[in-house]
Amino acid sequence: MKLSIAPFFARFVCLIPIILVAKPIYAYDELDLQTLLTTRICNDCNLIQANLDSRNLNDVSLLGANLREANLANANLRGAELIGVDLTDANLTGADLTGTDLTGANLTNATLSGADLTGATLWMSVLRNSSIRGASLNYSNLKEADLTGANLIEVELVSVTLNNAELEGAKVWYANFENADLGRANLKGAEIYESNLMGANLKNAKLIGTTFYQSNLNGADLTGTSLDEEVSTVQGQSTTRLCNTVMPDGEVTNRDCQR
């Protein structure tokens, strides 16, 4: 009598999902995590979804590491080398990133609310659609950074460098850009509400469709923008909206409040 293996095979296939669920699955490499915690150096390592909440990681080296979806809330990363790291969807809420080097880092959709990035280097970093609410970026370098669609509500950006940065569609509410360098920055469609841009450099910045509402541009340099009277006739009618905004000469304009 020939026995059929079909029923046995069918039962085995049905058990596969149960086996997979029962076995713990970690996205990060356990050895890499231990290497980081013991040697404080883990370049190009796999730390995907690693839980580093409140860890003391000051001065660590994580060059090119993969920290996608990692939890770094309230972590101490002062002076850390995070050049080229992937922090997509990572949680950096309240993290201390003072003086940290994040050159070329990918922070797409990352949460940096309440983080301290004073003096940090974020040159050519990507912060698309990131949440940076209430963070401090004073004196940081964001030259050529991509902040498209970023949430910059209540952010401190005193003397920050945003030269050639992308801020298209960004929400800039109650932010402090005093003496910031926004030369050639793309602020197309950005919402700048009740923000301080006193003494800011906006030379040749793209302000098409930008909204300035109850914001302070006193002492700002707008040479070469759509707000520069000398070039407005060349660029055509500006779509920039100005409402209750303090202009570079100190005068308040309500030009577009009814628009």
Q: How far apart are CA 85 and CA 38, in angstroms?
A: 20
Q: Are 89 and 70 in contact (CB under 8 A)?
A: no
Q: Are 125 and 144 in contact (CB under 8 A)?
A: no
Give the tens place of pLDDT for each residue, 187-221: 999 999 999 999 999 999 999 889 889 889 888 88
The pLDDT confidence band at residue 6, using thresholds 50, 70 and 90, is low
12 token code pair: 């085995």
* CA angle, 152 then 155 then 158, to 5°: 120
178 token code pair: 């005093």
Q: Are 169 and 149 in contact (CB under 8 A)?
A: yes
pLDDT value for 36:
97
Taking the complete model, does pTM exceed 0.85, yes or no?
Answer: no
pLDDT value for 53:
98
- Report strand pairing: 252-253 vs 171-173: unpaired
92 DSSP assignment: -
From the CB of residue 204, how many other CB atoms can be counted at a distance below 10 Å?
A: 17
Give the tens place of pLDDT for each residue, 135-186: 999 999 999 999 999 999 999 999 999 999 999 999 999 999 999 999 999 9
For the segment 16-30, the average pLDDT, to the nearest whole number, is 57
The pLDDT confidence band at residue 22, using thresholds 50, 70 and 90, is very low
For the segment 94-99, the average pLDDT, to the nearest whole number, is 98
The pLDDT confidence band at residue 257, using thresholds 50, 70 and 90, is confident
The more confidently predicted of residues 97 and 242 is: 97
Under 8 Å CB-to-CB from 196, ≥6 apart: which residues?
A: 175, 176, 177, 178, 215, 216
From the CB of residue 203, how many other CB atoms can be counted at a distance below 10 Å?
A: 18
The pLDDT confidence band at residue 233, using thresholds 50, 70 and 90, is very low
For the segment 18-25, the average pLDDT, to the nearest whole number, is 42
Give the tens place of pLDDT for each residue, 41-82: 999 999 999 999 999 999 999 999 999 999 999 999 999 999
